[in-house]
């Protein structure tokens, strides 16, 4: 008699396979509902992601434009660094010129592309004959690429003073908001009392869903730890070593109650981040927001340098802070026209 037949003839006996299935069913029951809910609430996200240009690997006009803006922003940063050097980023410069030319050929003109070309011409104007002699091969290729692009004036990266930069820090909101800009120049120690005052202003006035206040702010003052955190972050080369404080913004997943609120920590984090940028400007603190778009190894390494950070808290962003020097350059970074971002339905 087979094992199956024996089990069928004796109701006390249970086939091992059926027993294993029954045990699995009991053990998985507590997990089944949350997993089903997770898949149901993320289905729209997954459907939209499948249509994104970077997933489909088919560039759209929007993704091509974003790529150009991201690349010219790197060039803007290089043109406004505290210790600006000549002949930087040759490969990236030629790549930006090629992307701008391809965009014009495929989609026509756009303000962002014209600004990118202006940045290229500003880079050209920065270098004299002696600078070009350092790498004639690059400059020959660059001149050829620039000659194929429209004749736009060099983009101006504003030079200003500390007093002029913060002149509207106590002005009515429109003037105040338009005066705030990212600043990558820092000089001297920043009193912790001003940082506390800015954070208090930000957290006391930032909107929050049901007033749950998902967000947390940690201030790192140890320069050795700041250097390690910024090395992991990777976006502050050329200026991060000047920062006196680093603010780390997180949002706690334990303040959400369902999969439907899966994006709320990031929404809350973004709201606080903008509010904190305004508060820092109000207190005349120079600052630069740095993303925390980390893969798992970098996320773990960053967390390891922040004692007591719970795993339920998501890293939102960091902000490099310091006192502003007497004078400095600011990246122009023109904004999209209102017609591109606003619609009346």
pLDDT score of 143: 96
For the cut 90, the answer to whether the pLDDT of residue 34 exceeds it is no
Q: Are 107 and 61 in contact (CB under 8 A)?
A: yes
Measured distance CA(68)–CA(345) in Å, rounded: 30
Q: Which of 206, 200, 341 is nearest to 269 (CA)?
A: 206
pLDDT score of 41: 60
Quote the Cα angle for 267-271-275, to 5°. Answer: 170
pLDDT score of 21: 66
The 10 Å CB-count burial string (b at 16+, else e) for 123-137 is beeeeeeeebeeeee
89: alpha, beta or left, given left = phi > 0 and alpha = psi -120 to 50?
left
What are 241's two structure tokens?
């070593």
pLDDT in tens, 195-246: 999 999 999 999 999 999 999 999 999 999 999 999 999 999 999 999 999 9
CATH 3.40.109.10 intervals, the chain: 159-329
Please identify, in words, the CATH class of the domain defined by 159-329. Answer: alpha beta
pLDDT score of 46: 79
Higher pLDDT, 200 or 5: 200
Q: Are 242 and 212 in contact (CB under 8 A)?
A: no
pLDDT score of 260: 83
Quote the Cα angle for 162-155-241, to 5°. Answer: 45
Measured distance CA(275)–CA(279) in Å, rounded: 6
pLDDT in tens, 249-296: 999 999 998 888 889 999 999 999 999 999 999 999 999 999 999 999
pLDDT tier for residue 103 given thresholds of 50, 70 and 90: very high
């Amino acid at each position: 008699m087979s094992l199956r037949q024996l089990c069928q003839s004796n109701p006390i006996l249970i086939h091992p396979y059926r027993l294993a299935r029954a045990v699995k069913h009991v053990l998985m029951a507590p997990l089944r509902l949350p997993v089903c809910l997770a898949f149901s609430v993320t289905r729209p996200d997954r459907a939209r992601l499948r249509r994104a240009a970077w997933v489909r690997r088919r560039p759209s006009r929007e993704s091509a434009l974003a790529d150009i803006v991201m690349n010219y922003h790197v060039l803007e940063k290089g043109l406004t660094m505290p210790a600006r050097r000549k002949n930087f980023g040759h490969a990236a410069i030629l790549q930006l010129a090629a992307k701008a030319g391809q965009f014009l050929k495929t989609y026509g003109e756009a303000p962002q592309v014209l600004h990118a070309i202006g940045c290229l011409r500003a880079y050209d104007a920065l270098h004299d004959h002696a600078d070009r002699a350092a790498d004639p091969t690059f400059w020959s290729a660059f001149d050829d690429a620039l000659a194929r692009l429209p004749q736009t004036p060099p983009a101006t990266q504003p030079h200003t003073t500390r007093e002029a930069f913060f002149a509207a820090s106590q002005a009515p909101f429109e003037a105040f908001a338009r005066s705030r800009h990212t600043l990558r120049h820092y000089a001297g120690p920043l009193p912790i009392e001003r940082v506390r005052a800015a954070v208090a202003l930000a957290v006391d006035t930032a909107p929050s869903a049901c007033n749950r206040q998902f967000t947390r702010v940690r201030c790192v003052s140890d320069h050795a730890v700041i250097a390690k955190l910024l090395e992991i972050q990777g976006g502050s080369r050329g200026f991060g070593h000047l920062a006196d404080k680093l603010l780390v913004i997180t949002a706690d997943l334990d303040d959400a109650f369902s999969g439907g609120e899966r994006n709320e920590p990031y929404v809350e984090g973004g709201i606080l981040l903008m509010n904190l940028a305004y508060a820092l400007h109000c207190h005349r603190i120079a600052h630069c927001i740095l993303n925390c778009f980390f893969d798992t190894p970098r996320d773990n390494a960053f967390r390891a340098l922040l004692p007591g950070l719970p795993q339920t808290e998501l890293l939102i962003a960091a902000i490099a802070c310091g006192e502003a020097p007497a004078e400095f350059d600011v990246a122009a970074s023109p904004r999209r026209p209102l017609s591109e971002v606003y619609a009346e339905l």
